[in-house]
Structure 1
Amino acid sequence: MTRPGVVRPDQVGYAQLSTADPTRWRATGTAWAGLVGPTRRRATELANDAAALRSQWSGLAATAAEKQVSDLRVELLALAPVAIEIDQVLAEFAARLTVARARLAAAVTLAASAGVLIDRWGRTSPDPSRVPAHRAVQTVAPVTTALRDALDLATAADREAADRLDQLTADAESGWLSRPPAGRPAPHSDPAEVNRWWNGLSPAQRRWLVGHEPELIGGLDGIPAAARDQANRLLLEVRRAALVRRWEELLARMPRGPAEMVGLRAVEAALSGLDALTSRLASPDAPRAYLLGLDVGGEGRTVVALGNPDRAANILTHVPGTTSGLHDATDDLGRAARVLSRCADLAPGQETSAVLWLDYDAPDFLHEAAWDRQAHAAGDALHRFQEGLRATHDDGPAARQTVLGHSYGSLVVGGAARDHGLAADALVFVGSPGVGVQHATDLGVPAGQVWASRAPDDVIRLTRSPGELARHAVLSLSPAAGIVGLLTGDDDQRWFGRDPAEPSFGGRSFPSGRYGHSGYWHPDNPALDGMARIVLGQ
């Protein structure tokens, strides 16, 4: 394999970094990922050819030919996860290069304001017309440090990418795949134990598992994001085929009653949502998406990260609410992406990842959302996912982890924190019907890191606890009086406990404009800045 051009000087230079184009590296990675589909289709064709060969030809020559075809098929199948891995390497290199360039731009801005000159080689000197001689050293030093920080990051990223690509080349010569020893972690195993098992395997053994047991690897918390992404991408065609079969089965039922028509429309919506998600996964746009989980049963579930959370300094886990499913996963992912984009605006020199966590059965209707059964069922899975993020994060300082719940998703987050504990540095609730507790201190994180926002025109403010609803139903003399009573009653209580946006809850709040229940991510809403600053720890 020819390595696609990562240069390895002793140090990335100022001119190199200032002219580097991360989008070209990202596009190169996408081109490699584009080989997966054709490669796997060709492997299927070879399997069909081998079957035809067995039915029409026998003898020693036929056996030898069949073995060659089989070996070639194995090599093609081995190439698929490797192509995804190359895409990951180049995407992560592009991401780190983007951060390095942002730090370089900040250093240049600092130099301009401080009166420091930077030449084409990145050497710094005071501008004698602006900086007195006695202040030269202390003026130049911060700029020199900022430049060095940017160049060091670019150098480290360049060397790491080259090393990873070199390792792939060496593995190609010695064998990309190697069957691992017997014994696998059980589903729902402790993520730290899963991670220790994974780290005890060789790269070739890990690739074998990705290629041969993708359903296991793709769903295990404690497996690094890169490997889960490879496994789940290999399953995309299988998952889509399962949805198509369901659609065909429903379509074949004649006559179709109301239930069959509802089911048919739901499968069509899930197919459309899966196709939209697949398109985002194949996009060369930054940040790269990592598919960490996918289930097409029921309404469909998925976990998608924008940017590799194992490498990020800050991680947002976004838990959506009522009616969420595979059909609109890209919409929810877009909300997480807007927070991520605002984080990049506020702190361009930091790596941040945003994860859509839709790994639970969200309520489909309002009457379902009035009960906590589905939130309670989701708690353990969210707990394990957050523990997995801690276990798989790369060496170095731990990432700041923020978990955000919107609407019913805030009850999922609150219930998980209350019943299981969450590996989180901050919790954020927006448009919440209550989070299952009466006070911020019941959530297991410092009260100063529990945040909430409620728009003035969010309909969630009309929800009341069951006792409050019953009281108004009994005491109201007319429907109008009942409505007035609900609007003027105890504003603290919601369906699932005290409103986390109220001072009596004991957390902290941030403002929102009048953008309704789903408008917290509107570009002009101050709530978007609030969420981003919490993720960054600002």
Structure 2
Amino acid sequence: MVVDAAAAIIASLTVMAAAGPSTALEHPRPELSASIVQAAAPHALGPLASLPEAATTHASAPASAPASSSAGPAGPAASSATPAVAAIPDLTRLTSTRGTQLLRGLGALPAAETARVLAANPQLVERTLARPPAPRQVDRWWSNLDAATQLSLVSAAPRLVGNLDGVPYVMRDMANRSHLRSVVNALELADPMSLGASERLQQREQLQMLYSVLDALGPATANPPRQLISLDVEGQGKAAIVVGDLATADYVSYIVPGMFISVQQSMVEWVDTAARLHDEQVTWLTLLDSATGATPATDATSDTDASTPTVASVAWIGYQTPHLLNVGSLDLAYEGRDAIASAVLGLQTLRGDNAPYLSLLAHSYGSTAAMLALTETSATVDALAMIGSPGAPGASVATLNVRGDVFVGEAAWDPIPNSSFFGLDPGSSDFGARAMNVAGGIDVITNRVLEGSTGHNSYFSPGTESMRNLALIAIDRGELVTDGTSTDALRTLDYALTY
């Protein structure tokens, strides 16, 4: 495959670093962000078609709409006191503001005026999303808005609302679907004869990318439900789709991609992977729950909760992944660092004391981005699993903000893990991570035959030992993760019951 061929090329780059440590680690680290030729045939809009139009004025929003960031899926309930009505800001001053000051100003405008200001000043959204306020600041701002204002902002500023960590996921999903529908409609209705050849090609590529997002979302009746929690429609695009409910799930995992994973080419496959991981986790939770007669407790579930815990898996393409010409640089890993940290902090802000068990499952270059996020920002997770990693920027697991275990899987014929291109191989004994076997075998609990992973691109293949172990890591059952030693024969159901 192209990815495996690319992996071999990357591995060969280590010849340049054979005389000493990788020079990639000497790359200057960018400053952390504040948050931590025909018209295409119309594509079926699927779940977007049934989406209700958001309110266009403050007065027209339904009084029963969610008013804050944590009551159910919409997020924390705001104070019972009626929020103070802010004075309409001076537009000249507003367009020169940044961060939360800009957000407060937009929240004080009538919806029609907000839409007009942002249309006339697109740099306001670009600037805010490039260096967004911290999720806690966003949450505080959003919680102080009344329900009508929240819905009017979803309508007037969908791109902004849909991509701010700290805004409740149900509102981000609504905003992003609205933005997606609007852009797709505009592109499909555009006259191709008014465009040059390069513009027509760009338009066609953009439409194909957005169709991939539509296809990945599936039908409105998808079970478990899917939410579009981030969307960037420009360039190669970025998107994140949740399988499950991030607002209530007991176990949350983010699947972080590496080289060559793009929205246009990979979104459907990436969401399918998230769905398979979701189902694998649910299967294990149900099996262990029925065998033990007890539900594993997290901060989000009490010891007396009789229901099986719930799961949310995030198919996350939240940064521009590298290709052959730039994979040797850490530039995009730093972009990934900031985006991962913001997503983690946003989730933890919205969930508050009802925190889920949170894991990052990172592949290839994405593992380096994840480690940067967990060493250079305040983001902290419960577990980290890395597969096919090109190297760690830190010296050991002790440098990572991980409350639980760190796991590393390395497949046969995968040249990337042993390259140590971006630092120490996290699979080495010096790094101190736990080994995660991916070679295949017999599951001693279910008696399933598990396929082995080979090369750089089969860790997420269905029915593999890798997928089994990733699912167990994501539900905090690391003691059942196989490591390829004789101890695996002891990881039986009886062992699980006594652990």
Shorter chain as denominator, the TM-score bin is 0.5 to 0.7
Superposed CA offset, 1:114-173 (max 9, x none): xxxxxxxxxxxxxxxxxxxxxxxxxxxxxxxxxxxxxxxxxxx9xx89xx9xxxxxxxxx
> Alpha-carbon deviation of 1:192?
1.0
Shift in CA distance, 266/347, structure 1 to aligned 2, threshold 3 Å: farther
Q: Return 5+ residue gaps in structure 1 as ranges.
A: 1-29, 44-72, 86-156, 165-177, 255-259, 465-493
Superposed CA offset, 1:291-327 (max 9, x none): 1111121111112111121111111111111112221
Amino acid at match of 2:314: V
Residue 434 of structure 2: which of 480, 499, 508 is its match?
Answer: 508
CA distance in 1, matches of 2:254, 2:147: 28
Amino acid at match of 2:147: P
CA distance in 1, matches of 2:258, 2:226: 21
Amino acid at match of 1:229: D
> Alpha-carbon deviation of 1:241?
4.8
Higher relative contact order (CA 8 A, sep 6+): 2
Q: What SS class does the counterpart of residue 529 from structure 1 fall into? A: helix
Alignment length (residue pairs): 346
Residue 194 of structure 1: which of 138, 143, 150 is its match?
Answer: 138
CA RMSD of aligned residues (A): 3.5
Q: Indicate if the aligned counterparts of 1:338 and 1:521 stay in contact, CA closer than 8 A.
A: no
TM-score by length of 2: 0.62
* 1:529 aligned partner: 468
Q: Indicate if the aligned counterparts of 2:383 and 2:473 stay in contact, CA closer than 8 A.
A: yes
Residue 302 of structure 1: which of 226, 239, 245 is its match?
Answer: 239
Q: Indicate if the aligned counterparts of 1:417 and 1:443 stay in contact, CA closer than 8 A.
A: yes
Q: Indicate if the aligned counterparts of 1:306 and 1:353 stay in contact, CA closer than 8 A.
A: yes
* 2:412 aligned partner: 456
Amino acid at match of 2:411: A
> Alpha-carbon deviation of 1:240?
2.4
Residue 347 of structure 1: which of 253, 273, 285 is its match?
Answer: 285
> Alpha-carbon deviation of 1:266?
6.7
Instruction: Find out whether 1:219 has 2:163 as its counterpart.
Output: yes
Q: Return 5+ residue gaps in structure 2 as ranges.
A: 1-44, 75-83, 89-100, 105-127, 287-307, 439-451, 478-499
CA distance in 2, matches of 1:335, 1:307: 13
TM-score by length of 1: 0.58
* 2:482 aligned partner: none
Q: Indicate if the aligned counterparts of 1:402 and 1:424 stay in contact, CA closer than 8 A.
A: yes
CA distance in 2, matches of 1:344, 1:207: 34
Residue 253 of structure 1: which of 196, 208, 214 is its match?
Answer: 196
CA distance in 2, matches of 1:388, 1:369: 28
Q: Indicate if the aligned counterparts of 2:48 and 2:177 stay in contact, CA closer than 8 A.
A: no
* 1:139 aligned partner: none
CA distance in 1, matches of 2:355, 2:152: 29
CA distance in 2, matches of 1:32, 1:458: 39
* 2:360 aligned partner: 403
1 or 2, which has the higher helix percentage? Answer: 1
Q: Indicate if the aligned counterparts of 2:257 and 2:364 stay in contact, CA closer than 8 A.
A: yes
Amino acid at match of 2:214: T
* 1:467 aligned partner: none
Q: Indicate if the aligned counterparts of 1:407 and 1:431 stay in contact, CA closer than 8 A.
A: yes
CA distance in 2, matches of 1:435, 1:298: 29
* 2:378 aligned partner: 421
Alignment of 1:365-376 (within 5 A): 365-376=323-334
* 2:272 aligned partner: 334
CA distance in 2, matches of 1:329, 1:319: 12
Shift in CA distance, 323/516, structure 1 to aligned 2, threshold 3 Å: same
Amino acid at match of 2:385: V
Superposed CA offset, 1:495-520 (max 9, x none): 11122122221111211123332211
> Alpha-carbon deviation of 1:413?
0.6
Q: What SS class does the counterpart of residue 405 from structure 1 fall into? A: strand
CA distance in 2, matches of 1:510, 1:181: 57
